[in-house]
Structure 1
Amino acid sequence: MTTLIIGANGKIGRRLCEQAARKGHPVRAMARNEQQKAFLDSIGVETVMGDLTGQMTHAFEGCDQVVFTAGSGAATGLDQTLMVDLNGAMRAVDLAREHGIRRFFMVSTLHTDPLKGPEKLQPYLVAKRAADAYLQCSNLEHVILRPGRLSDEAGSGHIETDPARAATGDVSRDNVATALLTLLARKTTAPGEIVLLDGDRPIEQALE
């Protein structure tokens, strides 16, 4: 199964592409510009040019599942939050349906209630909440991953999916990428939501 990775140049996306390349998992990485494409080509994954705010229909052709791990980033304005985190995600869901793609994996956030988030993050949380709801109302087999506070710590290969059992609210981006690859490799995945936090259980076991 070929997986389209949207947000392949992001901090989670790059790790996912690198892990997929090492394990021989077929992925197609969507790049927005030639600089991004050069890096993705260098790690040995198939790359296609596409833009969440422009043309990307062709990127979905021949794919069996989609990972959406894109984000507008903290340095952009509210216009990009709407165009990437909300409209971009909704377009990706629509295009997956149009191309007969069966499974969709959304990397979201642990908390999506805007009223409980920092003021500067509230528009982003609104966008994520709406995008998640749009996916949930689609007819796609989907999984929404809800990672905690992301870190660049080396992946331990161990996570916790129950916040009450986790020692902290953190999770390494390496562990998120490994969890994604584990789910992608499975032939069937029960639709739902999965919390991802660093923990003591091997990723394969925790995701059972």
Structure 2
Amino acid sequence: MKVLVIGANGQVGRNIVKELSASEHEAVAMVRKEEQVDHLKELGAQKVVLADLEKDFSEAFSDVDAVIFAAGSGASTGPDKTLTIDLWGSAKAAQYAEENGVKRFVQLSSMGTNDPDAGGEEMKPYLVAKRAADEILKSTSLDYTIVRPGALSDEDKTENIEVSTSGFTSMEGRSIPRADVASVLVNVLDRPNTYHKTFEVLQGGNSTASELDSL
């Protein structure tokens, strides 16, 4: 599959591109700046498209088979960017996918979205935006999978994860490497058993493949 990676220059996005380049899929990396193009090609992107998530980016959906939405406004921005990127960017991506006949859509979300009120005032805008984006995606005709990782780390990929469709009772002291999150996002692409599923993921447990087989 030709997979459009939205948020390809982000920390998880770059790992997604590398995962795709090592798989049978092709990475179509979407970036906002011309100076990011060469680096994404070096990471393995077969194609790089220039598009701005805060504008019309529908042309990026031409000649792709699937989408991984991994964009995020980042911790250094305010609630305004959280709305336009994490929420509105995701909603537009789902709309463009439907309009272009791209059925497969994998979305990077976050643990804590089940109850944004419990996440504290600082995290609340982010969790509300992610929750709303997830609900919009669920209302579409797309074959979606929503992946909600816990706290992210920069550790090396372990391929050992634990997933839960009902939610973890606690994530205290637990995290998951960004590289493992990227591996999960790529692994679910051609797994029909993950269609129309939402699950949380943390480090630990069995291998990536066996955990995803059980969903």
User: Would you call these one fold, judging by a TM-score over 0.5?
Assistant: yes
- When structure 1 is superposed on structure 2, of 74-83 and 144-153 the one drifting more is 74-83
The change in CA–CA distance for 1:158 and 1:86 in structure 2 (over 3 A counts) is same
Write the distance in 1 (CA, Å) between the matches of 2:7 and 2:201. Answer: 19
Write the distance in 1 (CA, Å) between the matches of 2:12 and 2:153. Answer: 10
Amino acid at match of 1:7: G
User: Is 1:8 the counterpart of 2:13 in the alignment?
Assistant: no
Write the distance in 2 (CA, Å) between the matches of 1:173 and 1:94. Answer: 27
Native 8 Å contact 2:14 2:43 kept in 1: no
Native 8 Å contact 1:167 1:199 kept in 2: no
Amino acid at match of 1:195: E
Partner of 2:18: 18
Native 8 Å contact 2:4 2:68 kept in 1: yes
1:18 positional shift: 1.1
1:41 positional shift: 1.7
Secondary structure at the aligned position of 1:110 is classed as coil
Amino acid at match of 2:154: D
Partner of 2:136: 134
Partner of 1:98: 99
1:178 positional shift: 0.9
- Give 5+ residue unaligned stretches, structure 1: none
Match of 2:206 among 198, 201, 206: 201
Match of 1:117 among 107, 116, 119: 119
The change in CA–CA distance for 1:146 and 1:76 in structure 2 (over 3 A counts) is same
For residues 155-203 of structure 1, the C-alpha deviation after alignment (integer angstroms, 9 at most, x for no partner) is 1111001336989531111111111111124466431112111013010
The change in CA–CA distance for 1:188 and 1:115 in structure 2 (over 3 A counts) is closer
Write the distance in 1 (CA, Å) between the matches of 2:71 and 2:108. Answer: 8
Secondary structure at the aligned position of 2:59 is classed as helix
- Give 5+ residue unaligned stretches, structure 2: none
1:55 positional shift: 2.9
Secondary structure at the aligned position of 1:161 is classed as strand
Q: How does 1:55-204 map to 2 (within 5 A)?
A: 55-112=56-113, 113-162=115-164, 163=168, 168-186=173-191, 189-204=194-209
Native 8 Å contact 1:105 1:144 kept in 2: yes
- When structure 1 is superposed on structure 2, of 183-192 and 18-27 the one drifting more is 183-192
Amino acid at match of 2:176: V
For residues 70-112 of structure 1, the C-alpha deviation after alignment (integer angstroms, 9 at most, x for no partner) is 0011111221111101111100010000001111111001111
1:35 positional shift: 2.0
Amino acid at match of 2:153: S
Amino acid at match of 1:41: K
Count matched residues. 208
Write the distance in 2 (CA, Å) between the matches of 1:4 and 1:30. Answer: 7
Secondary structure at the aligned position of 1:200 is classed as strand
After TM superposition, the score normalised by the length of structure 1 is 0.94
Native 8 Å contact 2:104 2:189 kept in 1: no
